[in-house]
Amino acid sequence: MSTEEEPPVSSPSAAAENKENEAGTPKLDTPKIPTPAGTPQNNGISSPISLNMAPKEQDFLNAKAFLLKSSIKSNLNLYDHLSRVLTKVLNERPENVVDVFEDISKDVKRSKFTSQADTILDKVDRSTEVILAEVQKPLFEKNQEEAEHEGGEDEVETPLPNLPELMFYFEQAGIGMSREEMMRIFLALKQLVDNYPLQTCRFWGKIYGTELNYIVAEVEYREGEEEEEEEEEENEAEDVDLDKEEEGEGEGEEQEEDDTPKPDFKPPPVIPREDNRTGTNKKTFFVCNEPGQPWVKLPPVTPAQVAGARQIKKFMTGRLDAPIVSYPPFVGNEANYLRAQIQRISAGTQISPLGYYQFDEEEEEEEEEGTRENFMENPDYEGIPVKDLVDPTFSNWVHHVQHILPQGRCQWFAPIQQQEDDFEDEEEEEEREEPDEPEPEIGPPLLTPISEDIEIENIQPWSARLSSTLVPQYSIAVMQSNLWPGAFAFGTEKKFENVYLGYGHKYSPDNYSPPPPPAVQEEYPSGPEITETEDPTPEEEMALRAAQQEAMEAAEEMEDPEEEEEEDDE
């Protein structure tokens, strides 16, 4: 039959023409469709063509006409659609095609409409990937200066750590990130070392945030090289504060007579932060969101921030300028909170094998100072066998970062109460020193073994494992902190390293509960003069009156017999 040779292409136009006619009336007499010889043309009758055809052929034409009927909604007809789907199936020949037939059908329908879509979509998809790749490309490029100094570079000590080696060990322990990312971080650290005068540089770890992550590097500047701009700013701020206080005092003395009651509340004195290179600010930290992005220096941490960070629990968002909305209100933005958490984690989880570091024996500090701060590598360190490092008593690991006191500093700072009247006698000051000044806080000294760490409920604070149970002779020791989940340390005979990969929060088996608001201040001291007493009840009043009358009568009786006696005497 000639109808079988009909190409599918011609029918869409037939369908279009059909659409113009009344819906549901197939026009078989359009010139594009070849009809068997002998059929009349253009008769406009909706009934099927019948003359000179066998009934089966008639049925066939009727069925085909029905299939060619185009849908009102989508302007497709089933005939074309089926032929397209079957063409696709025969071209692609998928497995078990009957099971996915409906999906293929849907795909064909979808593709018909998007074939004319513009190509701009493609560009949008790839641009972010390209941007990131562009940012990271400079990591892999060699500096021109370096190329010149290539000869002599071997002799210069670089503060850059041998990160690939450390990451190999961590990978043995099942800790860390994918190798490509570690490589990129390594190159980013190299960039950091090239741009800043650093004495030591270390990959501290990665802190996850809700929008972006932070990659943290711990550095120590070379002596004398540190930027002094920040210190100048702080001095200015302090001067301004002092001026304000003096002004306030002057005004107070003048207006003593008719004043609104001034609150008695004196805010606790601000505890100054420790200097750079000491205590909590011993190391400086740089962060970036992705390796390749410029490193941003985190500000030094103040005791108020550490104390505040201890009381709140917030996820990092990944943006350093994000505000921290919490109760109690945190003094600072996310950069400060991040820095405080980093310091807390370092103080709690940076450990080294016993004997790796030792105190500098030449410098002896007096006991009043309390803590010894400086240690150095022990040149005679012989290494501790891995089996001893995973000893369940944990006696072979020590902390090498100073513990932070509840005050928020590593060294106790005695706050001197600044009073408005400064003319106190020395004697009075000495007498008042004991009740007013809080007791100096002491914490565990540097290089304390981790066996002294406090347990969390019933769980030991650290877990020690061997990296491989199958081959213990070549395995390394892995320490995981249970107090700060995400803090890991590995140790081999001669090497060790710490890293943190986590959200930056302490572990607590109980729920976090924000501290309750402080108690309402008393407006006035309550004493017997001010307190109301209840009015006496009528019974009590009667009783009192009766008692008073009795007393009066008794007094009268006393007088009367005396008078009588006097009268008698006379």
Partner 1 sequence: MESDGLHLNISYVGSCGIILSGEQKAALETSLVILQNNHKFNRVFLWGKILGVKNDYFIAQGTGNDEMADRKTLYSLDCVAWGLLPQATQAIRDQCSVVKGRFHGDPAHEYEHIEIQKIGEGEDSTEEESTIMIKEEDRLAAVVADIDEQVAIAPRGAFVKTPHGAVLQNRSFEGLSVTEAGKQQNYCHFREPVRLNEKSLLEKADLDKSIDFLDPINEDIPKGSWSLKFERGSGLVTITSLLWPGTTFYHVPHTRKYGWIYVGTGEKNKDLPFML
Contacts with partner 1 by CB under 8 A lie at 94, 99-100, 103-104, 107, 124-126, 128-133, 171-181, 206, 208-213, 312-315, 457-460, 463, 467-471, 480, 482, 485-486, 501-503, 505, 507, 509-512, 514
Closest contact distance (angstroms) between CB of 554 and partner 1 is 52
Q: Closest separation between CB of residue 376 and partner 1, Å?
A: 32
Give the SS3 label for residue 483. Answer: coil
By C-beta, is 339 or 505 nearer to partner 1? Answer: 505
- Residue 31: asked if its preceding bond is cis (omega within 30°), the reply is no
Compare residues 355 and 502 and give the one whose CB is closer to partner 1. Answer: 502
Cβ atoms of 290 and 318 closer than 8 Å: no
In angstroms, give the least distance from the CB of 216 to partner 1. Answer: 13
Which CB sits closer to partner 1, 67 or 501? Answer: 501
Query: Cβ 391 to partner 1, closest distance in Å?
Result: 14
Q: Which lies closer to partner 1 via its Cβ, residue 353 or residue 486? A: 486
Q: Give 15 or 340: the residue with its C-beta nearer to partner 1.
A: 340
Residue from 72, 101, 74 nearest 85 by CA: 101
CB of 520 to partner 1, least distance (A): 24
Q: Which residue matches tokens 């990665």? A: 206
3-state SS class at 79: helix
Name the residue nearer to partner 1 (CB basis): 14 or 324. Answer: 324
Residue 407 CB, nearest distance to partner 1 (Å)?
Answer: 25
Dig out the tokens for 275 from the structure: 């200097």
Residue 386 burial (10 A CB sphere; 0-12, 13-18, 19+): buried
- Report CA dihedral (283, 285, 291, 294) to the nearest 10 degrees: -120
Amino acid at 145: E
Residue 280 class from Cβ within 10 Å (0-12 exposed, 13-18 middle, 19+ buried)?
Answer: buried
What is the DSSP code string of 404-436? PPTTSSSS---PPP--S-----HHHHHHHHHHH
Which CB atom, from 32 or from 106, has the smaller least distance to partner 1? 106
Are the C-beta atoms of 500 and 170 separated by less than 8 Å?
no
Taking the complex as a whole, the smallest distance from the CB of residue 178 to partner 1 amounts, in Å, to: 3
Instruction: State in angstroms the smallest separation of the CB of 333 from partner 1.
Output: 16
What is the Cα–Cα distance from 570 to 565, expressed in whole angstroms?
8
Q: State how far the Cα of 453 lies from the Cα of 459, in Å rounded to an integer.
A: 11
The one-letter amino acid at 237: A
- CA trace torsion 556, 562, 565, 567 (10° rounding): -80
* CB closer to partner 1, 510 vs 535: 510
The closest of 45, 11, 13 to 27, measured between CA atoms, is 45
Three-state SS for 229?
helix
Within the chain, how many helices (H) and strands (E) appear?
14, 12
CB of 231 to partner 1, least distance (A): 34
State the Cα–Cα distance between residues 355 and 397, nearest whole angstrom. Answer: 9
Nearer to partner 1, 128 or 521 (CB): 128
In angstroms, give the least distance from the CB of 136 to partner 1.
Answer: 9
Smallest separation, CB 132 to partner 1 (Å): 4
Question: DSSP state, 100?
Answer: T
Residue 30 DSSP class = -
